[in-house]
Amino acid sequence: MKQLLFLLAFSPLFALAQAGMPLITKALNSGDVETLSNYFDESIELSILEEEGIYNKAQAVQKVRRFLTQNKVNSFTEMHQGASRSSDSQYVIGNLVTSGGTYRVYLYLTTTAGKTIIQEFRLDKE
């Protein structure tokens, strides 16, 4: 009974954390930088190939937009997803197929005030 109560108490938090994932996945699948950037934190750790750093949201959007303009997206496939024990953070690993090749995408997300936030975005050539 305690396990059931625990599960019922914390399942809404996990559901909130999951709420943004379908939209993030859809944005990656279509190369939609505008929708994707709605989930960027104000300061985001960004790594695109050899260029990496911590950028403000506007700089990160600009860098991701430039990459996706040069590499037209064909598809994004989520390969793995997991969450921390407390369900306040999660990660997603997937493959982004573009006109320039296939890239491995790593996302680290947190949930703040019920909103999914991307804190780390990484693109590596496969």
This prediction's pTM: 0.81
Q: Tell me the CATH class for 2-125.
A: alpha beta
pLDDT tens figures, 28-74: 999 999 999 999 999 999 999 999 999 999 999 999 999 999 999 99
pLDDT band at 19 (very low <50, low <70, confident <90, very high): low
Given this model, what pLDDT does residue 85 score? 82
Domains of the chain, by residue range, sit at 2-125
Cα torsion at 112, 116, 122, 125 (round to 10°)?
A: 170
Compute φ and ψ for 102, nearest 5 degrees.
Answer: -105, 135
Tell me, what DSSP letter sits at residue 13? H
Cα–Cα distance, 124 to 69 (Å, whole number)? 17
Quick one: how many helices (H) and strands (E) in the chain? 4, 6
pLDDT band at 11 (very low <50, low <70, confident <90, very high): very low
